[in-house]
Chains A and B, each alone.
Chain A
């Protein structure tokens, strides 16, 4: 994915501009730099997942889209903060560009989904947990895994991987149903 890893330059460019915008705006509405960074990165992730999903049609400038997402995320954050926070009254234009509710919702659901997966992985125990993590999260090859985890060959490691997956599946679906 070009925006993700292949083309770091594009990502840097988009991000730096986006960050500047959001920083200014969030500063005005009572947030700090940390908030801005959070919101910025989260909105980039929304964009990334959306692009990956394939149903992304740019109906406006990329920056506009990103900013709308960031703004919405920030509002949600403000709303979830404890009472005593001063409500803002002057953002009637919030709806003009749309606030991409669906995208944000999908994003939150996805985050939850992945968080559950992480939980399941943690419950899985070793060496399964590490094995799966290095294969799926770090893109290690089967051969690499075999040497790292002390299997005689790649095929053995593969068999082990499938066993681990089967166990993970059990844990994962059990926690989801509660």
Chain B
């Protein structure tokens, strides 16, 4: 217990810069040589930082609330326009003053900066650990399986998928990944990322996957399209981007029937060329919104393709438990663009899906 107290005292003094040079050096040395101490010491420091950071955060929030009350009261009393104009005129000065204030704060609070970075790194460390843990677990499973079945053969399927959120949720066809041992996506830059299944509906042939890579995003900007809630009209012009080959392929066509194969009302029948590998590809309307997912084609006639209507995606999303709910993109930024530019944007959010099976 005495030891316990000691390490906290040390950590606190260390953070507050109150250690004498020699003591500090001793701590640094011990951190290098004694890994148990180092880990515990780091935990203590993180804890103290979190407490301090949280305290400052709370105080700032409180201050903001008070300022808000003040500001609102001023507005409510309808202070004369003159005053407002005065503020407006001073805005630039205020901005400069604020920047100076921020600069000043940098020097005063370089410590705090120190703190927060460490919190962040602690976060990623923790996650990385979990990740390696998971990976090793997969490996174990893989090994057991390999012993049971024939090891050499490793069949491979490909499909297409598209982003549902910028941070890694994506949609594809369930049949693409059904029975897979592992699923990888390949993004626009050709990089591979492992994806896990989040939810699926075999009947409508929709699957939701999540790229598990830390910090993964499809693009710098948020998803630029929405998911249509209702079925589009017969004859609507549509286009699709998919991966029937290694390179992304564009096709366009129209809705040729409101119901799909065998009158399936969850599907569309499209007149659009599609090949193997395009399962899971997004079908977009003229303004770039997603109206469906390519799922299959008629084997006898070339050009007849079936797509699951996008309602099925929303339906699947609504079955997710609340804590895992996914925010669907709500804004469209493609509608006024030329088709070429729409495609250029969409390419970032469309990916090849590689499925590994034994």
Residues on A facing B (Cβ under 8 Å):
1-5, 7-8, 10-17, 19-20, 37, 40-41, 44-45, 48-49, 51-56, 58, 61-63, 75-76, 78-80, 83, 85, 87-89, 91-92, 94-95, 99, 101, 106, 109-110, 113-114, 117-118, 132, 136-139, 158-159, 162-163, 165-166, 168-169, 172-173, 176-177
Contacts and interface: CB of A to CB of B under 8 A. Distances in A.
A2 B221 CA distance: 33
19 contacts: A4-B59, A13-B91, A13-B97, A16-B74, A16-B87, A41-B68, A52-B56, A62-B98, A75-B222, A87-B330, A87-B332, A109-B123, A110-B57, A113-B119, A117-B51, A137-B59, A163-B4, A165-B44, A173-B43
Nearest to A81: B330
Contacts of A132: 51
B68 A53 contact: no
A158 B6 CA distance: 11
Interface string B59-89: 1110111011011101100000000000110
Given A20-B75, A94-B333, 18 more contacts: A2-B102, A14-B98, A40-B68, A51-B102, A54-B106, A61-B95, A75-B330, A79-B327, A83-B314, A92-B336, A101-B166, A101-B222, A114-B57, A117-B54, A136-B54, A137-B58, A163-B4, A165-B44
Interface in B170-222: 217, 220-222
A72 to B, nearest CB: 8
Contacts of B108: 1
B226 interface: yes
Interface size class, chain B: 35 or more
Contacts of B286: none
B105 A16 contact: no
B102 A44 contact: no
A132 B56 CA distance: 14
Contacts of A113: 50, 119, 123
Contact of B9 (A2, A78, A162): A162
Contacts of A41: 61, 64-65, 68
B229 interface: yes
Nearest to A166: B4
Contacts of A159: 5
B196 to A, nearest CB: 17
Contact of B101 (A3, A55, A92, A117): A3
B18 interface: no
Contacts of B119: 110, 113
A54 B75 CA distance: 34
